[in-house]
A and B are shown apart, each in its own frame.
Chain A
Amino acid sequence: MKNAGLPLRLEGVSKRYGTYTALTPTDLSVAAGEFLTLLGPSGSGKTTLLNLIAGYLEPTSGRIEIGSRDVTGLPARQRNIGMVFQSYALFPHMTVGQNIGYGLAVRGVPKAESARRVAEVLSLMQLEGYANRPIQKMSGGQQQRVALARALIIEPDVLLMDEPLSALDKQLRRAVQLELRRLHQEHGRTTIYVTHDQEEALVLSDRIAVMDRGRIQQLGSVDEIYDRPANAFVAGFIGESNLLPAKVNDMAGGKATAEVEAFRRTMVVQAAAGVEPGQTARLLLRPEHLLFNKTDDGVPAEIVETVYLGELSQYSLALESGHVLTARQITDRSLRKGMKVTLSWDPIHARVVPEN
């Protein structure tokens, strides 16, 4: 269980069904031992990409390499991947031990060795003593761990997980997330993880590939994705955002001169790659970066709603232009609905991103 898996490389891999493009030609490199999350809404192509890597789908074009081996034409059974399914896909007619040992049995591993390795994995998963239980007698969380154990025992070069936590309730999901992170840190194995839950992605991943409409919209570390989103979709999908229409008049040195109609002013702000003069783009302001001033400096606004979230509160702010912004702050009881305030922000946190 000590090998860290192998690197994975995709070159121009695409998948089309007739005229429908599930995945546009995609390049992707994953380092050995890296935890990469494919994050996106349903229909974004993330599961298609996962199935292409697993070998359950044949790509329309492109090339897939695991380590130095070209696996493009190989069926799933010859790729040495471990897959954890959303529904777990445990074999109902087998015990926990038989499920976990299945990959060893089909490889012809001798019974004694197989039993030893199953016991080892069971203890890694904190499932000691469950080997002879029927699958149906296991709870959802336990089944999830059996599914993971079954994938890990074959020492896969790449571990693939397709929304493995979506069948668990919220509390359990949180616990299993931390468990997955611990496992990955201890036995760090190349992992591709599919989810539509941004929080899960942030907790688990080394890097995140945000996907939409059959395309990787942005690939980067958790910080990069959050702080420097490549476009409005990424900004909107990760975290909460205020995205205001901005007309770009000029670009110079990575900064845009943009007319922001919501504020009725022209501003010079940082711009993401792909922003061009003459374009209508979006100004991104995260709710936690909006500051309240009690002086007249800044953009005038009226508090139209306050939502108390505990130590934080969320405020809806109507601008004079009619746009409504969301701000999130340490709860301040003096801020009430109907109050006039002025807003400001550190220019570092304002950013113009392309529409898509």
Chain B
Amino acid sequence: MSKLPLWLRIAGNSAASLILGFLVLPILAVVPASFNKASFIYLPPRAYSGVWYERFLEDVEWRTSLLNSLQVATLATVVAVILGTLAAIGLRRLEGRWRAGITALFLAPMIVPVVVTAVALYRSALDVGLSGSILGMSLGHMILALPFVVINVGIALRGVDENWIKAASGLGAGPWTVFRTITLPNITPGIVGGAVFSFITSFDEVVVAVFLAGYSNKTLPVKIWESIRLEFTPVIAVAATMMIVLAIVLFLVAQLVSSRREISTQ
């Protein structure tokens, strides 16, 4: 890089900054927008206040939708992590030909258009009485989140040496002890990564949620989507800011876990 002429470096860095700004600034704009004092979104705000945060927390509908989202995302994540981890372990034991085919099936929810999945889930949820329920939305999101867990844990499992397993069982450990003491500690970063992706996938998911949310069980993204069609108040920016903050925090957690893992294997 340092061999490039100065002007080219300046040009390159400027272009990179512009692209980054183009990508990030519209998202970050919601943060100052949420601190507007007026009941309309001005950018930059003419006067700052936290009044819309108060409004958000006082309003039962907003509060409930946030809690719904947290509930749905937590449940979806827990189920996706358990099933996805088991699936990744199972896939690793399969022989090559079968592994490729069945992996493709597990990753399908990433490729199938979400609206197709949503329609299919909507129809099925009606049949089993899960339509409009938190559980129904959680399971729908779990399906979307599953590929992230399968991929992340699958990659982590590649780092688990078959001989560690053999050594542990030779030393007297049963299959469950081997999993708990050898496999699990070595795939934890993959599981945490998969969990973070699962949580975020569910937390900002709107298509499946629109189809499955009942009148009283709206998630935060659904509530934002509905509100924005009625009124354009800074409370929407407040909700969006909360989602951004949560996403950032979760990614930091994931980074922290994987960097601690790297230090310990050096």
Closest to A86 in B: B163
Contact of A102 among B168, B264, B266 (CB under 8 A): B168
Known interface pairs A77-B170, A77-B173, A102-B173; 8 further A-B residue pairs with C-beta atoms within 8 A, sorted by A's residue number = A77-B172, A82-B170, A87-B161, A89-B161, A89-B163, A89-B166, A90-B167, A102-B168
- Do residues A76 and B169 form an inter-chain contact, with CB atoms below 8 A? yes
- Chain B's nearest CB lies how many Å from the CB of A148? 12
Interface size on A, as a range, is: 20 to 34
A347 on interface, CB distance cutoff 8 Å: no
- Do residues B166 and A83 form an inter-chain contact, with CB atoms below 8 A? yes
B227 on interface, CB distance cutoff 8 Å: no
> Hey, which chain B residues are within 8 Å of A76, CB to CB?
166, 169-170
B164 on interface, CB distance cutoff 8 Å: yes
Closest to A103 in B: B171
> Hey, which chain B residues are within 8 Å of A87, CB to CB?
161, 163
Given known A54-B170, A102-B171, A107-B172, contact A89–B266 (CB-CB < 8 A): no
- Do residues B266 and A136 form an inter-chain contact, with CB atoms below 8 A? yes
Closest to B168 in A: A102
Given known A91-B182, A92-B186, contact A106–B166 (CB-CB < 8 A): no
A150 on interface, CB distance cutoff 8 Å: yes
A98 to B131, CA, bound (A): 51
Q: In B154-180, which residues have CB < 8 Å from any A CB?
A: 161, 163-164, 166-174, 177
A106 to B178, CA, bound (A): 9
> Hey, which chain B residues are within 8 Å of A83, CB to CB?
166-167, 170
For A67-96 the 0/1 string (1 means CB < 8 A from B) is 000000001111111110101011111000
Contact of A77 among B169, B182, B186, B265 (CB under 8 A): B169
Q: In A298-315, which residues have CB < 8 Å from any B CB?
A: none
> Hey, which chain A residues are within 8 Å of B264, CB to CB?
92-93, 134, 136
> Hey, which chain A residues are within 8 Å of B167, CB to CB?
83, 85, 89-91, 150
Q: Could you tell me the dominant secondary structure of chain B's interface residues?
A: helix
B214 on interface, CB distance cutoff 8 Å: no
B185 on interface, CB distance cutoff 8 Å: yes
> Hey, which chain B residues are within 8 Å of A134, CB to CB?
264
- Chain A's nearest CB lies how many Å from the CB of B28? 39
> Hey, which chain A residues are within 8 Å of B177, CB to CB?
106
A180 on interface, CB distance cutoff 8 Å: no
Number of interface residues of B (CB under 8 A): 20
> Hey, which chain B residues are within 8 Å of A55, CB to CB?
170
> Hey, which chain A residues are within 8 Å of B161, CB to CB?
87, 89
- Do residues B265 and A92 form an inter-chain contact, with CB atoms below 8 A? yes
Q: In B182-228, which residues have CB < 8 Å from any A CB?
A: 182, 185-186
**Which among A75, A81, A89, A103 has the greatest number of chain B C-beta atoms within 10 A?**
A89
Closest to B165 in A: A89
Closest to B177 in A: A106
A56 to B168, CA, bound (A): 12
A196 to B170, CA, bound (A): 23
A151 to B172, CA, bound (A): 11
> Hey, which chain A residues are within 8 Å of B168, CB to CB?
91, 102, 106
> Hey, which chain A residues are within 8 Å of B164, CB to CB?
89, 91
Q: List 16 A-B contacts (CB under 8 A).
A: A56-B166, A77-B170, A77-B171, A78-B172, A85-B163, A87-B161, A90-B167, A91-B168, A93-B264, A102-B171, A106-B177, A107-B172, A136-B265, A136-B266, A151-B171, A154-B172
Given known A89-B163, A89-B164, A93-B185, contact A106–B172 (CB-CB < 8 A): yes
- Chain A's nearest CB lies how many Å from the CB of B36? 50
> Hey, which chain B residues are within 8 Å of A103, CB to CB?
171-172
A348 to B264, CA, bound (A): 62
> Hey, which chain A residues are within 8 Å of B166, CB to CB?
54, 56, 76, 83, 85, 89
- Chain B's nearest CB lies how many Å from the CB of A144? 14
> Hey, which chain A residues are within 8 Å of B182, CB to CB?
91
> Hey, which chain B residues are within 8 Å of A107, CB to CB?
172
